[in-house]
A and B are shown apart, each in its own frame.
Chain A
Amino acid sequence: MFQFINTLLIGITAGSIYSLMAIAIVLVWRSTRVINFAQGGLALASSFVGAAVLEKTGSFWVSLPIAMIAGAIFSAAIEFFFLRPLLKRSGEKEQEIFLPIIATLGLLGIIKTVLNFIYGDRIGVITPPLSDKGFVISGESIALSPMRLLILGTVVVLMVVLTLIFQRTNLGLSLRASSFAPEISRLAGVRVDLIRTVGWAISGAAGATAGILQTTNGSGSISPESFEFSLLLVFGFVAAVIGGIESLVGAVLGGLTLGIILSIILMYVGGSLVFFAAFLILILVLLLRPQGIIGAKGGRRA
């Protein structure tokens, strides 16, 4: 029982980070109908910025927002300079639908190469600002540490902020409307192109946060060839698909579900199967419930 609760706690923490990555993927998908595989590279690049700031200032709480801003700028720049011109030209001919997606794969490679060029063999270090020693309850140390609590807290705060932005503000209404019906939104006076860039920026900030938290939750360091970040991208994508790829709530539930399942497998079955399990879940969801776990029959949700 004790072990099971610990497994759950580990799963929820990891899952909350996948949720953030899934949100980043969903935001881009909703605004542009593109799966952005460069998201992993963006998160990595932003985390390097965060690591550099942490090295200079020594403050995690300064480095996190700066990494988020960096992520937002990187992501918006990619949309503006790269995808926008690409999408203007493509989309009409059938074989060109895949162009933007393949282009994001190319971007992922470019970002990694640039990071390799800048950092070479050096690594970025993001030391956890709080202890990652588990709290002790009735003599036993549980898998919930101050650092894990911090991760969960950060994710929850971000979700609340995002929800408020999306449901309560004019910007949120523009973001939702533009993703559901760009043409009607234009006719209503929404500057859809600008809103799209803003959507990418928010996505970049979410991805950056996922990157930083993943690093503190994991090895504490990053390299341009980080395997952790490849996993983060894959798990974020699987989580987004579990959640139905359209929905922010779905992305969160998808991330938590995936985190818990993978944690259980890691604990009771074996670490070598985790990657396999993630893909198995992906394929099962696509086959059995392509609309995702919360996708309603009635179609898309705000």
Chain B
Amino acid sequence: MLTIKDLSVDHGAIRALHGVSFKVEKGQLAAVIGANGAGKTTLLRALSGLNKASQGQAHWGDHNILHSKPEALVRHGISHVCEGKSVIPELTVAENLDLGALWRRNRKEAVQSKKEVVELFPRLGERLSQRADSLSGGERQMLALGRAMMSKPQLLLLDEPSLGLAPLVIEQIFQSIRELTTAMGLTVLLVEQNAMGALKIADVGIVLNLGSIAAIGSAAALKDDPAVRAAYLGF
């Protein structure tokens, strides 16, 4: 279970998160939605160790995840896919994938993970020796997801995987995320501007507004909540 208590994060003088508290049960997919600048990215970056928290606590299981480095948190099962296509353009597709598993002692399992990723995204399998900057936007997003999967995560932090993709591709990516969550028993925090799409596949929804939680509940309930509809779904 992911437990966040009273979490505040500052960017210099600007407080981006104001004492946020929530829980996500193991195996659940939680959509985090909210307007630009609501603090969604900041939340994920604090959880993966990229940003320092100023206050509060966050636990993944019994492990305290604040004040750790990202490279240490990966080893505790937390993988983060950043905003934008989080791949290394100069490396090949295979190298991008391998990178996520370099730290794993068990090489056999790492090879197995790569097989699974390629099965999930066959288009990556066909392009293993191509440089990542030759991929389309959708393929890059698949690669970013695949790289995260190579670290055998239990908690997956995804920042706007739909950014800049065509509607059809967005649907595919969302579908893959949903399937992965169920098949591998992952816990997922999915940050999205595409609120409707995210709520459709999510179990729970968290609405952030100006760094605080404006609403939280089951995804289905939030989808039908008139206030949420008006403010974030646009109808």
Which residues of A pack against B, CB within 8 Å? 170, 173-174, 176-177, 180-181, 183-192, 298-302
Instruction: Enumerate chain B residues within 8 angstroms of A174, measured Cβ to Cβ.
Output: 99, 102
Instruction: Enumerate chain B residues within 8 angstroms of A301, measured Cβ to Cβ.
Output: 90
Tell me whether A189 and B103 are in contact in the complex, defined as CB-CB below 8 angstroms, given that A183-B50, A184-B82 are known contacts: yes
The contact size tier of chain B is: 20 to 34
Sample (19) of A-B pairs whose CB atoms are under 8 Å apart: A170-B98, A170-B102, A173-B102, A176-B90, A177-B95, A177-B99, A184-B86, A184-B87, A185-B88, A185-B99, A186-B69, A187-B71, A188-B147, A188-B151, A189-B102, A190-B99, A299-B133, A302-B90, A302-B91
In-complex Cβ contact of B88 among A170, A177, A191, A192 (8 A): A177
Tell me if A180 and B102 are in contact (CB < 8 A). no
Distance between Cα atoms of A192 and B34 in the complex (Å): 33
Instruction: Enumerate chain B residues within 8 angstroms of A189, measured Cβ to Cβ.
Output: 71, 74-75, 100, 102-103, 151
Tell me whether A173 and B88 are in contact in the complex, defined as CB-CB below 8 angstroms, given that A189-B75, A298-B133 are known contacts: no
**Residue of B with least CB distance to A167:** B95
Instruction: Enumerate chain A residues within 8 angstroms of B50, measured Cβ to Cβ.
Output: 183, 186-187
Interface residues of chain B: helix, strand, loop or mixed (majority): loop
In-complex Cβ contact of A180 among B86, B91, B100, B103 (8 A): B91
Extra contacts, 7 of them, besides A180-B88, A180-B89, A302-B90 (Cβ < 8 A), are A170-B102, A184-B82, A186-B70, A186-B71, A188-B100, A189-B103, A189-B151
Distance between Cα atoms of A192 and B81 in the complex (Å): 17
Distance between Cα atoms of A301 and B82 in the complex (Å): 23
**Interchain nearest-CB distance for A248 vs B (Å):** 13
**Interchain nearest-CB distance for A59 vs B (Å):** 38
Tell me whether A190 and B133 are in contact in the complex, defined as CB-CB below 8 angstroms, given that A173-B95, A183-B50, A300-B90 are known contacts: no
**Interchain nearest-CB distance for A84 vs B (Å):** 14
Instruction: Enumerate chain B residues within 8 angstroms of A170, measured Cβ to Cβ.
Output: 98, 102
Could you mark each residue 124-152 of chain B with 1 if its beta carbon is under 8 Å from any beta carbon of chain A, else 0?
00000000010000000000000110110
Instruction: Enumerate chain A residues within 8 angstroms of B69, measured Cβ to Cβ.
Output: 186
Could you mark each residue 64-75 of chain B with 1 if its beta carbon is under 8 Å from any beta carbon of chain A, else 0?
000001110011
Distance between Cα atoms of A188 and B82 in the complex (Å): 11
- Does B80 sit at the interface, judged by CB under 8 A? yes
**Residue of A with least CB distance to B103:** A189
**Interchain nearest-CB distance for A284 vs B (Å):** 27
**Residue of B with least CB distance to A92:** B12
Instruction: Enumerate chain A residues within 8 angstroms of B133, measured Cβ to Cβ.
Output: 298-299
Distance between Cα atoms of A187 and B86 in the complex (Å): 10
- Does B42 sit at the interface, judged by CB under 8 A? no
Distance between Cα atoms of A187 and B68 in the complex (Å): 12
Distance between Cα atoms of A277 and B147 in the complex (Å): 48
**Residue of A with least CB distance to B86:** A184
Which 3 A-B pairs have CB atoms at the shortest separation, nearest pair first? Answer: A189-B74, A189-B103, A186-B70
Tell me if A187 and B91 are in contact (CB < 8 A). no
**Residue of A with least CB distance to B100:** A188
- Does B113 sit at the interface, judged by CB under 8 A? no
Instruction: Enumerate chain A residues within 8 angstroms of B88, measured Cβ to Cβ.
Output: 177, 180-181, 184-185
Instruction: Enumerate chain B residues within 8 angstroms of A187, measured Cβ to Cβ.
Output: 48, 50, 70-71, 74, 79-82, 86, 148
Tell me if B102 and A188 are in contact (CB < 8 A). yes
Tell me if A177 and B71 are in contact (CB < 8 A). no
Distance between Cα atoms of A85 and B50 in the complex (Å): 18
**Residue of A with least CB distance to B134:** A298
**Interchain nearest-CB distance for A27 vs B (Å):** 16
Looking at B100, B133, B147, the one whose CB has the most chain A CB atoms below 10 A away is: B100
Tell me if B91 and A188 are in contact (CB < 8 A). no
**Interchain nearest-CB distance for A129 vs B (Å):** 39
Looking at A190, A192, A299, A301, the one whose CB has the most chain B CB atoms below 10 A away is: A190
Distance between Cα atoms of A80 and B75 in the complex (Å): 24
In-complex Cβ contact of A173 among B98, B148, B151 (8 A): B98
**Interchain nearest-CB distance for A292 vs B (Å):** 15
Distance between Cα atoms of A41 and B95 in the complex (Å): 36
Tell me if A183 and B147 are in contact (CB < 8 A). no
**Interchain nearest-CB distance for B83 vs A (Å):** 11
**Residue of B with least CB distance to A172:** B95
Instruction: Enumerate chain A residues within 8 angstroms of B89, measured Cβ to Cβ.
Output: 180, 299
**Interchain nearest-CB distance for A3 vs B (Å):** 43
